[in-house]
Amino acid sequence: QDSLETVTSEESRFKLLYELGILYYRQQDHEKAIQFLGRARDLRPGHPALASNLAAVYLDTGRYDEALE
C-alpha cells in the first residue's frame, strides 16, 4: 500500500505530493518530480503554481508538448 494513502485529508495529500515534487525537481530528479507533481495535479487540476512548476520540469527535460498542456 502506498504510504501516501494514510494521509487523511485531500488538502494534506495535495500539499505533500506538491512539496515532494518540488523537492525532487530541486534535486534534478525530473522523473520523480513529474510523478509527484502529476499526482498533485490529479487532486488540484487548476492550481496555477503547480501548473507552472510542472511545465518547468517538462521544459527542462525537453518535453515541450507536455509543457504546453
Query: pLDDT (tens digit, 9 = 90+) per residue, 30-69?
Result: 999 999 999 999 999 999 999 999 999 999 999 999 888 8
Give pLDDT, residue 23.
98
CB contact at 8 A, 35 and 42: no
* 31 grid coordinates: 522523473
pTM: 0.84
Query: pLDDT (tens digit, 9 = 90+) per residue, 3-28?
Result: 666 666 888 999 999 999 999 999 99
Cα angle for residues 69, 55, 32 (degrees, 5° grid): 110
CA 24 from centroid of its chain's CA atoms: 9
